[in-house]
Structure 1
Amino acid sequence: MTARVLDRLTVPWIPLPHTMDVVLTPGTPDGYAVTAAFAVVVDTRGHTLLARVDRPGRGWDVPGGHVADGEAPAEAAARELAEETGYIVDAARLRPFGGQRITLHADPPADYGYPARAYMAFHAVQLAGPGPDTRPAPDSECVAAAWFAPDEVRAHCAGAAWLPLHATLVTTP
C-alpha cells in the first residue's frame, strides 16, 4: 500500500528506540498492527472537534484510543469519539486517511504490550453543517469537548504528531 510520509520523528512516550512516520494513506500499512484509532471530525466552517483529557501531561486532543480485541479500527474510532465528546457517528461514515506508523528498532521486552510494528489509524468525517454542541460521557476520561478553528487546533495541540495529518483536511489561513 502506498503511503506518503508527512513527517518522521521520535516521541517521548515510546520508551524504546523507534521511528514514527506520520503517513497519509487510505489503509493500514502492510506488516503493521492497528493498536489505536482516532476520529478527526471537521465541520463546514473548517472547525475540528477536540476533547480535553484532565490528566497530567494531557490536554486537548483528537478523540481516540485503543482498539479492543475483535474491534475494527473504524468501530474503535466511533466508540472513542462518542465516549470522549458525546458526538455519535456511524463507523461506516469514518474514512481512513492516514496515521502514525511506529517501528521499534529492537525487539520489545515481553512486558511492553505493543508489537514492534504498530499503527495508530486516523479516520475523518466531514459534516454537512456546523458542528453541534457536544459533551463527553459522564464516565469519560475527558472533561470537555469543543470545536476549534485550524489555528486554534494548532495552538491547543502544539507539538502533536498528528498535526500534519490534520492539515491535509482543513484549509489553514
Structure 2
Amino acid sequence: MTDIETPETIRYTADIVVTRTDGHVLLIQRGWDPHKGMWALPGGHVDAGETSRAAAARELAEETGVYAAPDELEQIGVFDQPGRDPRGRYVTVAYHLTVIPGTPVEAKDDAVAVRWAPLDDLPPLAFDHADILAATRHHH
C-alpha cells in the first residue's frame, strides 16, 4: 500500500529583470516579509486570468513606475527550485527588459525604495534573485 500525498499548493509568480544599457539593474527594497528590507527584483503574483508576461509588466509598473508592454518582455526561464521561497512552493517565470539610462523610477506599491544597482557591485538579493540575474546575463 502506498501513501497518498496531499498535493502541495503551488503559487505562480512573475519576476522581471530590468537592465539599463550602461550595466545597471533595477532593484526594489522589500517592505514586507519574507526578506523585509532586502533588495529584490520587481515581481509578484500572477492574477487569475492573467499570463505571467502580463503580470511581470503590471508588477513592474505597480512597484517602480516603469511601464512596458508585455510583448516587450523577453522570457528568461522558469525558476521552480523547492525552497526558493520560505512561504512555500513558488514557481516564477522571469522576464527581461532593457531600458536606456535616464529611465525614471519611483518606489510604489510594495516597494519601499527603488534603485539602479551596478551589475558588478550588487547588494545581497532576496530569494533566488541572484540566480535569476545570472541566468539573464548568461542568456544575453
Q: Same fold (TM over 0.5)?
A: yes
Among the aligned pairs, what percent are the same residue? 29
Q: 1:51 to 1:90 in 2, by over 3 A?
A: same
- Offset of residue 47 of structure 1: 0.6
Q: Which residue of 1 aligns with 2:136?
A: 169
Q: Give the 4+ runs in structure 1 shifted more than 6 A.
A: none
**Correspondent of 1:45 among 1, 7, 22:** 22
Q: Which residue of 1 aligns with 2:94?
A: 122
Q: 1:43 to 1:131 in 2, by over 3 A?
A: farther
Contact 1:150 1:170 (8 Å CA) reproduced: no
The total of aligned residue pairs comes to 125
- Give 5+ residue unaligned stretches, structure 2: 1-7
Where does 1:96-135 land on structure 2 (aligned, <5 Å)?
96-102=75-81, 119-127=91-99, 129-135=100-106
- Give 5+ residue unaligned stretches, structure 1: 1-17, 19-32, 105-113
Could you tell me how far apart the structure 1 residues matched to 2:80 and 2:110 are?
A: 25
Could you tell me how far apart the structure 2 residues matched to 1:102 and 1:170 are?
A: 19
TM-score (normalizing by structure 2):
0.75
TM-score (normalizing by structure 1):
0.62
Contact 2:76 2:135 (8 Å CA) reproduced: no
